[in-house]
Chains A and B, each alone.
Chain A
Amino acid sequence: MSCSTDGVIPESAASGTGTPVIAVRGLAKHFGRVQALRSVDLDVHKGEVVGLIGDNGAGKSTLVNILSGALQPNAGTIWLDGQPVTFASPLEARHAGIETVYQDLSLAPDLSVWQNIFLGREKTVKGPLGLVGWLDRRSMTREAEANLDRTHIRIGSVNSLAGRLSGGQRQAVAVGRAVSWGSRVLLLDEPTAALGVEQQETVGELIRSVSSGGVPILLVTHNLPQVHRLADRVAVLFHGHVVADLRCSDVTVDDMVSWITGAALGTERHAD
């Protein structure tokens, strides 16, 4: 098999350019006797889109949950911009700069687009009314409009209820909201799983425009052709290890499949 990789298991943070925005070393997590993650190493650099792929049960969700603060690892370290960090809760992960867009998008369908975008850090008016939490609706709708204009996805009105939007539009709102928190790295969990082909394209372009703006993206997905198109690199999880760190320009989708199934691992070991 002619699969040139950057090294089966990355050894250090020095493999890329400069300090990685997020670096993971030796991350392990077990649930009782089930070892979900054995020892995961992963780097994501500024401006990169890194795909995280692997079969069901390979450890993808566990890794996502640890990075987003929902689970705590049994061993290993997460480094953010060169600083070791630990998260006791999703809120701490967010405050540290890791923003997760969950598969379900976490939008409130009964709230409008602008209300969803500002939920949790609402702007209040100045003066005494602000002290009782009086919302500054005008400035929030205006900012929400300006920000969604930049995504070039037509939402109609920021006053539309989120529950009334199409799948692609919801994704755009969720990603736009995540980026607007001023995050350092964006974690997208199966962003196109529920979308049609055309809307997947839309979300793909959204992902590319976010990463080229400097915010790196860790893209967790089953959709191999898409991750091959969108990502700069893919990390392959297999039985709780990152077994390959592949540059997308160097490999085909078929190569990815053989890494995911472990077939490539077998041949490499044979070759060794």
Chain B
Amino acid sequence: MRLSLPSALTPGGTVTNGSGPEGEPSRRSALLNAIDRFGDYWVLGVFVIMVLVFGFLSPSHDLFTRASWLNVSQYAVEFLLLAIGQTFVIITGGIDLSDGAVLGFTGMVAGVVMQSLLGAHANVTLTTVIGFATALLLGAAIGFVNGYLITRFKLPPFIVTLGSLTAIGAGATPLINGGNEVINLPSQIGTIGQTLIGGWVYVPVLVTTVSCVIMGLVLHRTRFGLRTYAIGSNNMGARRAGIGVDNHLVRVYMISGLLAGLAGMMVMANFTDASPLAGQNDELNAIAAVVIGGASLFGGRGHMLGTVVGTFIIALLVTGLVLVGVSGSWQEVATGVIVVAAVAGDQVRLRLGER
């Protein structure tokens, strides 16, 4: 469609601009843009400082070793995939508390499916493919149910996804395979988890990186991404602009579910088994990563790169605190503090912007 103001706005003469508050918009916005930009990049500074501090505090600088990188990156994969979907959801002003539970559930279902296919002497590669398809489709289906309930019945995302978290994580998952781990999996699953590319990158890390790049481009460069921001920034305005807000939201929750399904397979590959305990509490790490990365829980703001940095801040916190000999519980405390600080920072920015 062409944008054409000309006939309407040309002949009427000039609209003069007062020299009052509008007189110096450029200086005003330059300052505010600087604040915005600082807000986007301070996490990167935090990350660098953390690397240095943990690096030099750790005995014989263990953090700077390949082993430690492999450790951190493998751990980060588990909730970075969730955080990608969560970024979309949070930008729309919603939240998905169910994605950790979906990770565990899809992994278990796919595990049982593959186990029984192997038991029936099915082709091993085909079995692996079916396993992946099962996890991804199941994840997307759960996302669809979440999105459908949220949009059609106007329910708060917090409540709907909390319900899914409980029903799936505490209810359905433990019923599968008698609540036991599934260990008879196709050998390819283990291969995916153990294969190191160039000695530095596990396959799940590569899969996550590719997902991140693709979804980052979708978020920042496509119509879908722009509308995701618009919905979170002004829901009614987006409706008035003709955007099918409800359908869009359903798709966003489906993305979150799909990526949780993928995460289920990646975690399975890491551990070469499907565990009913997989993914527990991962949703909190994912949400924390997104918020630390600069997303606003009120919607409209967030960045894929910020989410990546936020994820590594949390992964680094865990590994770093272990390396410097601090007990594991303190990692949870530190994560909590950082999340609250990030939300507080977001509030300060909002208030500065309103002035």
Contact = CB atoms under 8 A, between A and B. Distances in A.
Interface of A: 90-91, 94, 100, 102, 104-111, 115, 117-124, 132-135, 143-144, 147, 150-157, 160-161, 163-166, 168-169, 172, 176, 179-180, 182, 196, 198-199, 201-202, 205-206, 208-215
A202 B193 CA distance: 63
Contact of B29 (A151, A153, A160): A160
A111 B233 contact: yes
A135 B25 contact: no
Contacts of B12: 205, 208-213
Nearest to B302: A110
B337 interface: no
B353 A163 contact: yes
Interface in B228-250: 229-230, 232-234, 236-243
A90 B21 contact: no
A148 to B, nearest CB: 9
A197 to B, nearest CB: 9
Given A119-B226, A147-B5, A198-B18, A165 B13 contact: no
Contacts of A205: 12-16
Given A210-B8, A215-B8, A110 B233 contact: yes
B237 to A, nearest CB: 4
Contact of B25 (A90, A156, A199): A156
Interface stretch (B42-50, B62-70, B161-169, B216-224): B216-224
Contacts of B178: none
A106 B242 contact: no
Interface in B9-67: 9-18, 20-22, 25-26, 28-29, 32-33, 36
B242 A120 contact: yes
21 contacts: A91-B242, A106-B237, A110-B229, A115-B229, A115-B230, A119-B237, A147-B9, A151-B5, A152-B17, A153-B15, A155-B25, A156-B25, A157-B26, A168-B18, A179-B5, A182-B1, A182-B2, A198-B20, A213-B9, A213-B11, A215-B7
B3 interface: yes
A90 B5 contact: no
Contact of B236 (A106, A117, A154): A106
A267 to B, nearest CB: 38
B198 interface: no
Nearest to A108: B233
Given A90-B240, A110-B300, A206 B22 contact: no
A94 B242 contact: yes
Contact of B238 (A108, A153, A202, A214): A108
